[in-house]
Amino acid sequence: MKTVHIAIMGFGNIGVGTYQGIEINHDAIAAKTGLDLKVAKIIEIDIDRPRPVSPDRSLFTPDRMEVFQDPSIDVVVELIGGVEPATTFMIEALKHGKHVVTANKAAIAANYEQLTDAANEAGVLFRFEASVGGGIPVINAITTVLRSNRFEEVTGIMNGTTNFILTQMTQAGRPYADVLKEAQEKGFAEADPTADVEGIDIANKLSILISLCFGERVKIEDIPTTGMSGVTPEDIAQAKAEGKVIKMLASASRENGKIVCSVAPVRIGTDHPLASVSNEFNAIYLKGNILGETMLYGKGAGPLPTGSAIIGDIIDIATHTK
Ligand code: HSE
């Protein structure tokens, strides 16, 4: 049995989900993979915040450098969020020879090359499946089994918080503010939910998918983005009267050699395949030149689904390294 010593950096909703996922499935993972996943350190200042799990207090440290310099730590899981200081901390961990796993779409969208260069230079692995689509294995799909394709389009619902809000406003007539509060309580929303409701989180994810699908960098500032905070119950009722629903859609395609992309609330017919994607579920439609069309569907937000993707990356790293 090989023990994988993991440091979780940032113990918020997703850190807790990752910890819980390892607790729940430790033995099943060991039986399947021969790996003993062990959370050895938690880099976090706020030890006493109420959480649904109670790791031993000795696991907590505020000192990331102590962890990065500890030769027994194999993988650092970055779950601080935001571009900085998370990018700097990840590069430090990579330079200290730690494999890094992250769910941080903002940092990857802003600093993809710096992070992958730092990993390559250090001869370690950098994985970020959880950054797009929560538990949906969309990054693995694009970079492994679908990589024989020239991608022509990627479109989808890529934010659980806004899809939860729009679903609840549409189906239950609930007020925006109430549903946003519930999305925060369920651990769907970002620390600052402005990133969700103004479409910034989706633009970060779309920027990552554009890089992976089309091999081109489009900065989030260059993605035309409209949020959903201005969508009113009247807009929803009017869409309903037209046989439509409002969904936050992200879309990118290559047209005449150029990437055309956008993020916006859009009215779609109730017979559209994305119309029935509800609550925190996400769906990502891909069109490849030899594959044709495919759609990946699942929980796009939430501590355990996101933890599932993070743990998958840890297992992948541990099975591909000594
Ligand atoms: N805040 C994000 C969402 C989390 O609601 O989709 C998952 O990336």
Query: Each residue of 116-160: pLDDT tens digit?
Result: 999 999 999 999 999 999 999 999 999 999 999 999 999 999 999
Q: Which atom of ligand 1 sits closest to the CA of residue 162?
A: 5
> Positive or negative CA dihedral for 162, 163, 169, 170?
positive
Q: Are 77 and 177 in contact (CB under 8 A)?
A: no
* Per-residue DSSP letter, 225: B
Residue list, ligand 1 pocket, CB within 6 Å? 134, 159-161, 188-190, 196, 201, 300-301
Element (H, E) at 112: helix 105-122
Mutate to test the pocket of ligand 1, among 164, 201, 205, 229 (most ligand atoms within 8 A of CB): 201
3.40.50.450, 3.40.50.720, 3.40.50.1370, 1.10.150.20: CATH of 2-134+303-320? 3.40.50.720
Q: How remote is the CA of residue 103 from the centroid of ligand 1, in Å?
A: 10
Q: How remote is the CA of residue 313 from the centroid of ligand 1, in Å?
A: 18
pLDDT category of residue 96 using cuts at 50, 70 and 90:
very high
160 vs 157: CA distance, rounded Å: 8
Mean pLDDT, range 3-28, rounded to an integer: 98
pLDDT at 295: 97
The residue contributing the CA closest to ligand 1 atom 7 is 301
pLDDT at 155: 98
pLDDT at 322 over 80: no
Q: Which residue numbers are catalytic?
A: 205
Q: Which atom of ligand 1 sits closest to the CA of residue 103?
A: 8
The residue contributing the CA closest to ligand 1 atom 1 is 189
When the pLDDT of each residue in the chain is averaged and rounded to a whole number, the result is 97
Q: Are 206 and 158 in contact (CB under 8 A)?
A: yes
144 vs 291: CA distance, rounded Å: 13
119 vs 91: CA distance, rounded Å: 8
Mean pLDDT, range 214-241, rounded to an integer: 97
Q: How remote is the CA of residue 35 from the centroid of ligand 1, in Å?
A: 29
Mean pLDDT, range 211-219, rounded to an integer: 96
Q: Are 218 and 207 in contact (CB under 8 A)?
A: yes
Which residues of the chain are in CATH 3.30.360.10 domains?
139-299
Query: Each residue of 265-287: pLDDT tens digit?
Result: 999 999 999 999 999 999 999 99
Mutate to test the pocket of ligand 1, among 138, 186, 188 (most ligand atoms within 8 A of CB): 188
Task: Report cis status (omega within 30 of 0) of the bond before 233.
Answer: no
Q: How remote is the CA of residue 232 from the centroid of ligand 1, in Å?
A: 22
Q: Which atom of ligand 1 sits closest to the CA of residue 188?
A: 5
pLDDT at 25: 98
43 vs 8: CA distance, rounded Å: 6
pLDDT category of residue 301 using cuts at 50, 70 and 90:
very high
Which residues of the chain are in CATH 3.40.50.720 domains?
2-134+303-320
Q: How remote is the CA of residue 290 from the centroid of ligand 1, in Å?
A: 31
255 vs 93: CA distance, rounded Å: 39
Torsion of CA 53, 132, 180, 228, to 10 degrees: 170
pTM (whole model) above 0.95: yes
**Tokens (6 digits) for 173:** 């007539």
Domain covering 139-299, topology:
Dihydrodipicolinate Reductase; domain 2 (3.30.360)
Taking Cα atoms as reference points, which of 84, 118, 114 lies closest to residue 99? 118
pLDDT at 70 over 90: yes
Comparing 2-6, 46-50, 71-75, 302-306, which segment has the lowest mean pLDDT?
Answer: 46-50
Taking Cα atoms as reference points, which of 119, 131, 128, 199 lies closest to residue 165? 199
Return the SS3 of 20: helix
Q: How remote is the CA of residue 3 from the centroid of ligand 1, in Å?
A: 31
Torsion of CA 299, 300, 305, 309, to 10 degrees: 130
Other C-beta atoms lying within 10 Å of the C-beta of residue 289:
10
Helices (H), ranges, 134-199: 138-143, 160-172, 176-185, 194-197
Mutate to test the pocket of ligand 1, among 104, 136, 190 (most ligand atoms within 8 A of CB): 190
